[in-house]
């Protein structure tokens, strides 16, 4: 049995915070932010919208898109580092609101690579025929752990949620290979104290190297080559890091998802948000070979090669 994505959904807050808005808040400029990161604006959740609210909205859409009911969900995995509270988990909170009372529920903490960790975890349950439908949500309210006086980090992050339903798919489709990894010695370069603390230079060097390597590794594991790739969906952290991955795969620019300009770095939510964006734009088609790759605090990383379609 092969596991694949059978339903998708996302939620984005209405409030848009532009680079020009940030110019009024700190010593920075639109030109510098766009040049160094590729970001033009980001979404910020209002005070009365928490992480579980965004996760619930995205999950509802994914379940509806999958053509199933909440009662058919067997497991809920929520990738986040910004839960409403340390416990209960966001997964448990949305289980109640969805009415998915048959589902087990837990959160996954792997920072920006959390969605990849969640997908790979869900895959195991489906392919061992323990569960049939697994809901995986990537969601962050990073605005509540961002130091808005720190121009090195405040310009990067945004809020949002993306969700997928994993289920059995036809033999030729679904997840073909994956790679997960971690290097705890790099934890000092990206972590949360009260707010997000990041050594940008070290994280950049790590990400440029690891994202490219992971893309190649999952292709080799699947018995494929760079020529087989139809589309790349990288974690939307920094346009220069994303470009390094694209160039490693020798893909034309139009075959890489770029949503960072509109939404900034939404951590665990960035890849599922981008999946929805590209599907709505008609850029992902059945039987396309898609590579998804991300990295995050930990330091963690993950990549997946997936043949699109049910």
Q: What is the DSSP secondary-structure string of 184-212? A: GGGGGGEEESSSEEE-HHHHHHHHHHHHH
Report in angstroms the alpha-carbon separations of 272 from 59, 101, 163, 294: 11, 24, 6, 11
Residue from 65, 112, 217, 238 carrying the catalytic annotation: 112
Report in angstroms the alpha-carbon separations of 121 from 8, 41, 118: 17, 32, 5
> HSE of 100 in the Cβ direction (CA atoms, 13 Å)?
27
Residue from 19, 65, 215, 235 carrying the catalytic annotation: 235
Residue 235 known to be catalytic: yes
Residue 112 known to be catalytic: yes
Residue 265 known to be catalytic: yes
Closest by CA to 112, choosing from 65, 147, 70, 162, is: 162
Closest by CA to 299, choosing from 184, 201, 175, is: 184
Alpha helices in 131-249 (DSSP H): 151-154, 200-221, 239-249
Task: Examine residue 88 and say whether the peptide bond preceding it is cis (omega within 30 degrees of 0).
Answer: yes
Residue from 19, 65, 238, 265 carrying the catalytic annotation: 265
Q: Give catalytic residue positions.
A: 112, 235, 265
């Amino acid at each position: 049995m092969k596991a694949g994505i059978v339903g998708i959904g996302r939620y984005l807050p209405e409030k848009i915070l532009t680079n020009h808005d940030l110019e009024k808040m700190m010593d920075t400029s639109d030109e510098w932010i766009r040049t160094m990161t590729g970001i033009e604006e980001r979404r910020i959740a209002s005070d009365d919208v928490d992480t579980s609210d965004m996760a619930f909205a995205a999950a509802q859409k994914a379940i509806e898109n999958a053509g199933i009911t909440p009662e058919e969900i067997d497991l809920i995995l929520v990738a986040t580092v910004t839960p409403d509270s340390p416990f209960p988990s966001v997964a448990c909170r949305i289980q109640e609101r969805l009415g998915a009372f048959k589902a087990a529920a837990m959160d996954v903490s792997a920072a920006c690579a959390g969605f990849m960790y969640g997908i790979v975890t869900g895959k195991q349950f489906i392919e061992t025929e323990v569960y049939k439908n697994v809901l995986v949500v990537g969601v962050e309210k990073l605005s509540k752990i961002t130091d808005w006086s720190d121009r090195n980090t405040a310009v990067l992050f945004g809020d949002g949620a993306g969700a997928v339903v994993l289920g059995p798919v036809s033999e030729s489709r679904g997840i073909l290979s994956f790679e997960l990894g971690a290097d705890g010695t790099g934890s000092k370069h990206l972590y949360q104290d009260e707010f997000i603390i990041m050594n940008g230079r070290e994280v950049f060097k790590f990400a440029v190297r690891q994202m490219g390597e992971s893309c190649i590794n999952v292709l080799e594991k699947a018995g494929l080559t760079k020529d087989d790739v139809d589309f790349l969906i990288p974690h939307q952290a920094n346009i220069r890091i994303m470009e390094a991955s694209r160039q490693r795969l020798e893909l034309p620019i139009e075959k890489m998802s770029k949503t960072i300009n509109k939404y900034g770095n939404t951590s665990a939510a960035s890849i599922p948000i981008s999946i929805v964006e590209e599907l709505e734009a008609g850029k992902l088609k059945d039987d396309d070979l898609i590579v998804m790759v991300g990295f995050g605090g930990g330091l963690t990383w993950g990549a997946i090669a997936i043949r699109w379609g049910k």
